[in-house]
Amino acid sequence: MKSVAIKRQEVRLPRYLVSELAVKFSVELNGILYAIRDISESGFSVESRGVAPITSRRSCRIFVEETTLVYEGEVERVPRDSELDAYMFVSKPLSRNLIENLEKAAFIKQSVEASMENVELPQAFKNFLIDLRHYLFHVKQRCDELDQKLRVEPFDIKESSNVAIEAVFFPWFFDKMIAFSQTLHGFDRKFTKEQKASAITLFRESVQEFYLTSDFVSRIIARPRGYVGDYEMMNEIYDNNSVGSSTFARLMYKYGINEMSSQSVRYRRGLFCKRMLAMAGKGPMAIASIACGPAREVADFLAAIDPKASGDFSFYLIDQDQEALLSAKRRLVDIKLNRQLNCEFHFLPLSVKDIISGSNSAGALGQIGFNFIYSAGLYDYLTQPAAKLLTGILAEWLQPHGSMIVGNYNTQNSTHAISEYSAGWPLILRDEPEMVDLVPAGRRHELHWDDNKINIYLEIRK
Ligand SMILES: C[S@@+](CC[C@H](N)C(=O)[O-])C[C@H]1O[C@@H](n2cnc3c(N)ncnc32)[C@H](O)[C@@H]1O
């Protein structure tokens, strides 16, 4: 829609050309309604009809949209040589603020009408948003009432209320939210590109305020490290706490870090840890994690490994983000010292670009001969050509009988829609043929899934 700017003809007082305004003014003179052509706080003009409606001082009434009276007072005709009949307010001026605010209100009405017209979405989707908003509105209202009552209570009562809410209310709330998220996923799969853009706008206008109460969602949107999925977001998912300054905010937070995709993140932590523990006692093992983030699966491994077997393990933890590496280092070195382990760590600030181009010493990693390489939470951001190149290089880094696993959210990932609609978290999803397409020629491979079939894992052996 064309934005209607207020055009002022600065003569002495701002004068508004009605043809440029979103609001229409008319004036009743001698019992007849005339369309106003331009208006200011001192007077107005109408298109000349040959005979002037009044020639002496008379009362007039000014209306907007021909129905609402906004001014009543006396006017006098201004003698003028033009096609316009001009009149001057003589009893009192017309408030300039009123003219400008009428214009603003009319513009809001026009823009809402225009955005409603642009949305070519099925009525079922609009009904779905009404239901979702209705549900969130009521849950929030009850939670806010509870918080209000708890305000004056001692800390232990507040704490036990949180425990009770989490035990009794959260499971029901969670199931409802998952059902909404899956319904959204169903709509999203059928939308055209244009419909999707409209649907995201409408979703955000309707319900995003509720999702934004969650610190997890706010962090996704704010991207304090410059990208989504940073190590702190991963830590929030792994820690699975209730965080937030109100009961509703905590419920929304807990829901987000338990969505299907978050469950799948915790699943892979167990998957990689078990895999590495199974390598204990089989001789020296060089392991690389590409885009390691907080490396929580390595922390679990260190907590569980027999200290006597730990000396066989060398870890190469690679990430583009120095902060992620520092956070991983603090945690892992702490466990190593506490448990008196002998494993070795290399924290390498390298990006996928470095690995592909062999720059910044990434090329030297090809000489190590890895027994196991894994990467999760990275391929979902790589285009197919970049993912293929990286997979080819990593497969070359393996020593004979070594294996690598790369994970990727698959096209069944029902959380994808809610993440994108509520927080703009973009992911590149892959189906089975796209995962198999990454395998270098002649390499053995298998595909695995997690419990909810949210992530596909491609395993390649040398
Ligand atoms: C979603 S987290 C996954 C972390 C970890 N693998 C896990 O599963 O907990 C993504 C990590 O990938 C890193 N990353 C993103 N793009 C990268 C790139 N192009 N090169 C290297 N690391 C990257 C980020 O810094 C972040 O730590």
**306 pLDDT higher than 70:** yes
More confident residue, 213 or 50: 213
375-403 mean pLDDT: 96
* Segment 170-211, tens digit of pLDDT: 999 999 999 999 999 999 999 998 899 889 999 999 999 999
Whole-angstrom CA distances from 402 to 29, 264, 282, 286, 374 are: 93, 25, 13, 10, 11
| pLDDT at residue 114, rounded to an integer | 63
**2 pLDDT higher than 60:** no
Nearest CA to ligand 1 atom 4: 293
Nearest CA to ligand 1 atom 25: 321
Confidence of residue 66 (pLDDT cuts 50, 70, 90): confident
- 376 CB within 6 A, ligand 1: yes
Q: How far apart are CA 311 and CA 280, in angstroms?
A: 10
Tell me how far the alpha carbon of residue 260 lies from the centroid of ligand 1, in angstroms. Answer: 19
Pick the CATH number of 15-116 from 2.40.10.430, 3.40.50.300, 1.20.210.10, 3.20.20.20: 2.40.10.430
Tell me how far the alpha carbon of residue 291 lies from the centroid of ligand 1, in angstroms. Answer: 4
Question: Phi-psi region for residue 13, left (φ > 0), alpha (ψ -120 to 50) or beta?
Answer: beta
**374 pLDDT higher than 90:** yes
Partners of residue 375 on adjacent β-strands: 406
* Segment 104-126, tens digit of pLDDT: 888 787 777 766 665 689 999 99
Contacts with 296 (C-beta within 8 Å, 6 or more apart), sequence order: 234, 235, 238, 269, 331
Q: How far apart are CA 299 and CA 292, in angstroms?
A: 12
Contacts with 434 (C-beta within 8 Å, 6 or more apart), sequence order: 384
**162 pLDDT higher than 70:** yes
More confident residue, 214 or 193: 214
* Segment 36-56, tens digit of pLDDT: 988 988 898 887 776 677 778
Dihedrals φ, ψ of 318, to 5°? -115, 130
Q: How far apart are CA 451 and CA 442, in angstroms?
A: 29
Whole-angstrom CA distances from 140 to 135, 252, 359, 403, 433 are: 9, 10, 52, 49, 43
- 378 CB within 6 A, ligand 1: yes
386-414 mean pLDDT: 94
More confident residue, 155 or 290: 290
Q: Does domain 276-461 have CATH number 3.40.50.150?
A: yes
Confidence of residue 1 (pLDDT cuts 50, 70, 90): very low
- 288 CB within 6 A, ligand 1: no
Q: Provide the residue ranges of all domains of the chain, joining segments of one domain with +.
A: 15-116, 123-258, 276-461
425-442 mean pLDDT: 92
- 407 CB within 6 A, ligand 1: no
Residue 457 near residue 447, CB atoms below 8 Å? yes
Tell me how far the alpha carbon of residue 374 lies from the centroid of ligand 1, in angstroms. Answer: 12
Residue 380 near residue 454, CB atoms below 8 Å? no
**95 pLDDT higher than 60:** yes
**314 pLDDT higher than 70:** yes
- 320 CB within 6 A, ligand 1: yes
Confidence of residue 151 (pLDDT cuts 50, 70, 90): confident
- 110 CB within 6 A, ligand 1: no
Report the atom number in ligand 1 closest to the C-alpha of 407.
8
403-430 mean pLDDT: 92
* Segment 218-248, tens digit of pLDDT: 999 888 888 888 999 999 999 999 999 999 9
Q: Is the dihedral of CA 428, 431, 434, 435 positive or negative?
A: positive
Q: Which of 292, 319, 327, 365 to mutate to test the pocket of ligand 1 (most atoms within 8 A of CB)?
A: 319
- 460 CB within 6 A, ligand 1: no
- 405 CB within 6 A, ligand 1: no
Half-sphere exposure of 116 toward its Cβ, with a 13 Å CA cutoff? Answer: 7
Confidence of residue 6 (pLDDT cuts 50, 70, 90): very low
Confidence of residue 79 (pLDDT cuts 50, 70, 90): confident
| pLDDT at residue 115, rounded to an integer | 66
Q: Is the pTM of the predicted complex or chain greater than 0.85?
A: no
Top-ranked range on mean pLDDT: pick from 12-26, 142-156, 283-297: 283-297
The per-residue pLDDT of the chain, averaged, comes to 90
- 202 CB within 6 A, ligand 1: no
| pLDDT at residue 13, rounded to an integer | 52
**HEC string for the chain:** CCCCCCCECCCCCCEEEHHHCCCCEEEEECCEEEEEEEEECCEEEEECCCCCCCCCCEEEEEEECCCEEEEEEEEEEECCCCCEEEEEECCCCCCHHHHHHHHHHHHHHHHHHHHHHHCCCCHHHHHHHHHHHHHHHHHHHHHHHHHHHHCCCCHHHHHHHHHHHHHHHHHHHHHHHHHHHHHHHHHHHHCCHHHHHHHHHHHHHHHHHHHCCCHHHHHHHHCCCCCCCCHHHHHHHHHCCCCCCCHHHHHHHHHHCCCHHHHHHHHHHHHHHHHHHCCCCCCCEEEEEECCCCCHHHHHHHHHCCHHHHCCEEEEEEECCHHHHHHHHHHHHHHHHHHCCCCEEEEEECCHHHHHHCCCCHHHHHHCCEEEEEECCCHHHCCHHHHHHHHHHHHHHEEEEEEEEEEEEECCCCHHHHHHHHHCCCCCCECHHHHHCCCCCCCEEEEEECCCCCEEEEEEEC
Tell me how far the alpha carbon of residue 182 lies from the centroid of ligand 1, in angstroms. Answer: 27
Confidence of residue 82 (pLDDT cuts 50, 70, 90): low
Tell me how far the alpha carbon of residue 323 lies from the centroid of ligand 1, in angstroms. Answer: 11
